[in-house]
Amino acid sequence: MEMEPMGGTIILGLHMEAFLMIVSGIFYILCAASLWRSYRREKNELIGALLAFLLYQAVNMFFMGLEVQTMNIFYGNVASLAVFVGSAYMLKFPFSSLSQGKRRVLFLLILAAVLGLFVWFMQTEERQMKLMEFTLWYDIVINGLVVGGFMLLLAIRTTERLLRIKAFGGGAGVVSCCVVANGAMLGGAILAGSVIGFFAPVIILGSLLFTRGRQQPTMNRV
């Protein structure tokens, strides 16, 4: 999907869509910094996947905003690379029941595969022009439906109330950004997708803050 030149409202010299994406990228970084404190205290695959989500989306949205503003495909390529690498980290979560050694092997295999895929897209200008649309679909399926879906499934299946809240909030945030926001962008509603994507981390952090003062310090299993 080739980004079309934007028109309409200008904010601080930026088109509104580009402005929202860039601001969203900065907001995601701030949210990741906040989540990092929870990850240091409660290291598990769920929090790790959510941290990876916030970090890769921060890079993705920031550089997508630059591409929308400048029409420079280089920035879109950087955004796509962030999604690919982020997915390798997020996919650790569905395999959290495996041993640490097996998870590490799977992570390295997935990382090698997505990096190889990215290199393949970089071979020709024609492929690069198709990369952004592919990335949006990839983000929908892998990070949104698979990883986000597993988080929601955990929320349904677990008997622990606080874990259910964290998993549901995390899954809802991931799905709203990766599925709903990306779907809106694929449909041409870039502004709507940017707004939806901006509020995704609010759902995630809201669920974690709600449980922070209520959880037991030993809840580190998932």
pLDDT tens profile 127-153? 999 999 999 999 999 999 999 999 999
**What CATH number does domain 12-212 carry, 1.20.1070, 1.10.10, 1.20.120, 2.60.40?**
1.20.1070
CA atoms within 13 A on the CB side of 37: 8
pTM of the predicted model, to two decimals?
0.84
Asked if residue 12 lies in contact with residue 183, where contact means CB atoms within 8 angstroms, the answer is no
Asked if residue 195 lies in contact with residue 45, where contact means CB atoms within 8 angstroms, the answer is no
214 φ, ψ (degrees, to nearest 5): -115, -15
Rounded Cα–Cα distance for residues 73 and 86 (Å):
20
Question: pLDDT digits over 38-71, tens only?
Answer: 667 767 888 888 999 999 999 999 998 899 888 8
